[in-house]
Structure 1
Amino acid sequence: MNDFDFFAGHWNVVNRRLVKPLSGSDEWDEFPGRTVATRHFQGAASFDEIEFPTKGFHGLTLRVYDPASRQWSIYWASSTRGVLDTRPMVGGFDGDRGVFYGEESHEGRPVRCRFVWTAGADTARWEQAFSDDDGRTWETNWTMDFSRA
């Protein structure tokens, strides 16, 4: 249940986001971020707020561990929408790598979504990918490279 303990603290973030996901485009937008993460429930919950200073918005992530299923549920909220997503990403860690799956909407159509977390002591990486063929192929559309501030 302590999989996200590594993330507690202050981080600088390099974001790379695909400008037009699921379109065949390879144009990326790179921008900075800053995040502060905290642990709760003795490690069974994790919370962070990220600021995207050049984009003008913030995001919040809530992660909660279910000891019965041994899986995490990850929820997201953006200051642009002001709503906590009700469909979590669900999954877990195997060593220092965590994989989480869920449903997302892209341009009004449903897509599968995958998060991959790679944990380190002073660095971490998060990747988001979409699949529009029910998980047979994946396109990474957002990466965050974290370095401890």
Structure 2
Amino acid sequence: MDDFDFLHGSWDVAGRRLTAPLASDPGTWAEFPAPPVVRPLFGGAGNTDEITFPALDRQGVTLRLFDREPERWSLRWSDSRTGRLDPPATGGFTGDRGDFHGEDSHDGRPIRVYFAQHRLGPDTARREQAFSADGGRSREFNWIMDLTRTGQVAV
């Protein structure tokens, strides 16, 4: 239940995103900074991750909650462009790696979404996102963020 506790605090992010995911020409990778702050909820059974993307002119929040019955995490994203809460990705951790899967849509077509959270040490982490338009047989990574801790959040 405390899988995400290592993320509590403030971070610098070196991010990059694919400019045209799932396109016949996926475009290029665009780099962006993003300083998130992760705060705990429910004594470790949840957290919020507020992030600002100055270069993308938007903000976002991730809500992570641990469902005690199946012992799985649910991750939900919302950003200032849409104002909606995206469908959940669910999963869990094995060691220092969390794997999460969900169903969503991209440009009007159904996709499978994959997120990976890597704990690389006490002050470094990585997040990756991939989409699949073929039912999960293949994945295209389209969003990668390398995190470096800048401070702890008081709990």
**What interval of TM-score do these two structures reach, taking the shorter chain for normalisation?**
over 0.9
Query: Hey, what does 2:32 align to over in structure 1?
Result: 31
List aligned pairs for 1:87-98, cutoff 5 A.
87-98=87-98
Partner of 1:76: 77
Taking the aligned partners of 1:14 and 1:26, their CA distance within structure 2 comes to 19
1:54 and 1:64, CA in 2 relative to 1: closer, same or farther beyond 3 A? Answer: same
Deviation readout 1:54-95 (Å, 9 max, x if unpaired): 22110001000012111000011101212222x200000001
The residue that corresponds to 1:101 in the other structure is: 101
Residue type at the aligned position of 2:5 = D
- TM-score, normalised with respect to structure 1: 0.96
| 1: CA distance, partners of 2:41 / 2:3 | 12
Q: Cα RMSD over matched residues?
A: 1.0
- C-alpha distance in 1 between matches for 2:77 and 2:144: 16
Q: CA deviation at 1:39?
A: 0.9
Give me the TM-score of the superposition, normalised by structure 2.
Answer: 0.92
2:117 match = 117
Instruction: Could you list the structure 1 runs, at least 4 aligned residues long, displaced by more than 4 angstroms after superposition.
Output: none
Q: Which amino acid aligns with 1:141?
A: N
The runs of 5 or more residues in structure 2 that have no matched partner are 151-155
How far does residue 25 in structure 1 lie from its aligned partner after superposition?
2.6
Runs of 5+ unmatched residues, structure 1: none
Name the SS of the counterpart of 1:34 in structure 2.
coil
Residues 103-136 of structure 1 show CA distances to partners (whole Å, capped at 9, x for unaligned) of 1211110011100000131011000001111111
1: CA distance, partners of 2:84 / 2:116: 23
User: Which residue of the partner structure matches residue 21 of structure 1?
Assistant: 21
Identity rate of aligned residues, in percent?
A: 51
Aligned length in residues:
148
Per-residue CA shift, 1:3-22, capped at 9, x if unaligned? 00000000001111001111
